[in-house]
Chain A
C-alpha cells in the first residue's frame, strides 16, 4: 500500500510510518469528495446551480486538489453572475494543476472579452453599492443601482433576489413575480427565489381569502344584521344554499348542452353531411375530367404547351436562318477585305482571312474567286509562316513550330521551302517519339520532292527508322 499523502510505501497496517497519516481516513475523504462532485455535476446539468455550488464546495473541502470540481464550481458561479468568484476558482485551479487543465482557457477567454468582463464587474460593483445604500436606508437610490446592476450583469441572481425582496416589502407583487421568475430561469432551484415565490403566492392566497370573507360578511350584515355567532351560522348556511343552487345550475347547463347536441345531431348534421358529400362528388368528377383531358392532350395546359413548343420551333428556325444570312454577309465582307489586302500587297493578312473562310457554304463562282486569291497570297504567307515555324523550332517550342509548319505546308505545298517544312515536321515527330509519322513525312519528301536539298537525308532517315522498327 502506498501512502495517499506522502507516497511512502506502507508495508504493515494503514498508518504511514513516514508521515503518520491514517490512510483509511484519507481514502474515505477522497471517496466523499468524489461523491459530492458527482452530486455537483448532476445539479449543474439540471440547471440547479445553487445546489451544485454547495455540493462542489463540500467536494473541495474533502479534497482541495480536485481541480475538476473547482473548475465546475467556477462555471456554476459564472452561470449565476458571480464572475469574480468564478475567476478566483479558476485561478486557484490553474495553480493547483498546471497541465491539461481547462481553467487557464476559461481565464484566457474572459480576459479576451475584457469589455464583457468589465461590464459584469461593474454590475457586481453596483450591487455592492446598492446593498450599502439599503443598509443606510436610501432605498430609492439603492433600487436605481440595483436595476443598473441587473442590466449590466443579467445573470447576477443575488441582485435580482434583492430586488424581489424589496418589491415584496413594498407589496409590488407583479414586479416581484417578474424578478423571481427571472432568477428561477437562471438558477432552477435558487433557495431565496423559491422562498420569495412562496411568500408571494401565500400572500396572494390570503388576500383572496380575506376578500371573499369580507364580501360574505358584508352581504350578511346588509341582509340579516344578526350577531357575530349567528352571522357565522348564517354565512355557513348561505354557502350551503349557494352550493345547492350552483349544483342545480350546473346540472341544468349540462342537460342543455346534451339536448342541443342531440338536436344538432338529428337535424343539422345530416344536411351538413349531405352538402359535404355533394362537394366531394363534384370534386372527384372534376378530377376525372381533368385526368381525361390530360391523357387526350385536350387540357388547357396541354394545348398551351403544344402551342409554345410550335412557337419555339418556329423561332429556332428563324434564328438559324438569320445566323446563315449573317454568316454569308460576314464571308462576303471577309472576301472583300482579303481582296483589298491583296491589292495593297498585304498577303499575310489576306491569307489569314482566306484560311479561316468556310468554303463549304460558298457558291462555285465565289469559291473560284477565293481560289484565285489564295493562289496570289498563300505562297508569300506560307513562307512567312514557315520562317516563324523555324524560329519556334530553334527556340525549342515544338508545339508552336508544329502548328505553324503544318499551316505553312497546307498553304504552300509546292514552294521551295515546302520540303524543308516537311523535314522539320518529321524531326518534331521524331522528338515526340512518333516515328511512324516522321517516316511518313520523310517518305513524302523522297516521293514528291526529288530535287530537295534534304532528299538524301530523308532517305537515310527512312532506312534508320525502318531498322529501328525491326
Chain B
C-alpha cells in the first residue's frame, strides 16, 4: 500500500507559462562536450603544475 504523504514528495511543481522566460534565460546549455572541455582544461593545468613542480625539484 502506498503512503500518500511520501508519494506527494515524488511530485514536483510544473513550470508555469509566466516563468518560461526566466527559465530559458537561466538555463545554461551544457553538454558532455562542455564537460569534456572542462576536464581537458583542468587536466592541462594539472599537468602544467606537475611539470612545474618537477622542474622546480630538479
A interface residues with partner B (beta carbon < 8 Å)? 5, 19-22, 25-26, 29, 32, 60-65, 82-85, 87-88, 91-92, 96, 117-118, 121, 124-125, 127-128, 131, 134-135, 156, 158, 161-162, 165-166, 168-169, 192, 196, 199, 203
Contacts and interface: CB of A to CB of B under 8 A. Distances in A.
A85 B13 CA distance: 12
B2 A199 contact: yes
A232 to B, nearest CB: 27
Chain B interface size, under 10 / 10 to 19 / 20 to 34 / 35 or more:
20 to 34
Contacts of B1: 168, 199, 203
A125 B20 CA distance: 13
B16 A121 contact: yes
A392 B27 CA distance: 85
A295 to B, nearest CB: 80
Contacts of B29: 64, 92, 96
Contacts of A169: 2-4, 7
Summarize B's interface: helix, strand, loop or mixed.
Answer: helix
Nearest to A127: B14
B15 to A, nearest CB: 4
Contacts of A85: 14-15
Contacts of A118: 17
A31 to B, nearest CB: 11
The A interface is mostly helix, strand or loop, or mixed, namely helix
A29 B11 CA distance: 31
A130 B30 CA distance: 33
A21 B40 contact: yes
Given A88-B23, A203-B1, A64 B30 contact: yes
B32 interface: yes
Contacts of B54: none
B8 interface: yes
B14 A21 contact: no
B33 interface: yes
Contacts of A29: 31-33, 36
B46 to A, nearest CB: 13
A168 B24 CA distance: 37
A32 to B, nearest CB: 8
B20 A88 contact: yes
A131 B13 contact: yes
B17 A124 contact: yes
